[in-house]
Chains A and B, each alone.
Chain A
C-alpha cells in the first residue's frame, strides 16, 4: 500500500468550476511533487516543493495553483480548466535527495467536461 494518500480518487469538473486535489504523506519526506500523466504516456513533472517552498514550476499554466500548507500536505488548486487537462494527477514525495526513490500516491483521475 502506498504511503502517499491522494483525495479524491476521481473528479469530474466543469470548465468554470474550482476544485482542489489533496495529498498527504507521513514518511517525513521534505520534497513533494505534482505530476500529470496522460493515457499511454509517462508522468510529466509539474511542480516540486522542497522544504515547503515551491522550487520548480515546469511552466505550468496558472489555472493550476499548488500549495504546501505544511511538510506533510500538498494541494493542487484547479480553476477554469480545459478538457485537455483531463489526466491522472499524481502526487509524490521523496527525501530531499531522491537517491532512495520517489513514492507516488494512487492519483486523482480528473475529467474536465
Chain B
C-alpha cells in the first residue's frame, strides 16, 4: 500500500464547476499536511496547509480527518488557470529531520 494515495484523474470539469480531490495516508505518525500544485514542467508550489479544523483560502477549502487518515481539497468556481496537478503531501518529523511524502497527484483540466 502506498503511503499517500490519490485518485490520479484526470478530472475534466467545465469552468465554474466545483471539484473535490481526496487523499488518504497510511502513517498515523504523520504530523503536517499540505496541498501543493504543480504545473507542467514546473516545480511544486505550496497551495495550502491542511488542519483538522478545516481551512479556507478564497475558492479553496481543505480538510483533514485524522481518525480516518483522510485529506480533502475542494475547489469552487473553477477557473481555466486552476488546470494543474494537485499533490497531497504529508510530513513526518523523524530523528533525521522532516520527510515529505507526496501522493501521486491528481490532474485537473478545467475546460471552457
Contacts and interface: CB of A to CB of B under 8 A. Distances in A.
Nearest to B34: A101
Interface of B: 31-32, 34, 41-46, 49, 87, 89, 91, 93-94, 96-105
Nearest to B93: A97
Interface stretch (A13-21, A38-46, A66-74): A38-46
A101 B46 contact: yes
A31 B97 contact: yes
Contact of A43 (B41, B45, B102): B102
A56 B99 contact: yes
B103 A106 contact: no
B52 to A, nearest CB: 13
Interface residues of A, number: 30
A106 B32 CA distance: 23
Contacts of B89: 102
Contacts of A42: 87, 102-105
Nearest to B87: A42
A39 B89 CA distance: 18
B44 A104 contact: yes
